[in-house]
Amino acid sequence: MADNTEHLFRAEQAGISLIWEPSGDADVAGYVVLRGEPSDATLQPLTPSPVPDPRFRDTTVVSGRRYVYAVRAVDGHLPVPNVSDESTRVEETAR
């Protein structure tokens, strides 16, 4: 399961909106949003479970702080879903 998606991340008042091109795989069940700071080698999951739509609004940001985001596509295979590689990382500063 590859993730070659295009991303749009936009800082807005009280949050950062994330929008990405959905995966072309028919069996994608959702997306895990990852977040960190520019110095972080490993991003941490921001969403406790996959979000079903290719968009997410991060309202836990601190104004003036720079964040790094990426997403992973997850399929519905049980008991252990397949997870794509991390998408290209994008940085944004919270307003």
The answer to whether 26 and 14 have CB atoms below 8 angstroms apart is no
For the chain, the farthest-separated pair of C-alpha atoms sits apart, in whole angstroms, at: 41
Does residue 7 surpass a pLDDT of 70? no
Average pLDDT over residues 46-58: 94
For the entire predicted model, the pTM comes to 0.84
Tell me: the pLDDT tens digits for 25-39? 888 999 999 999 999
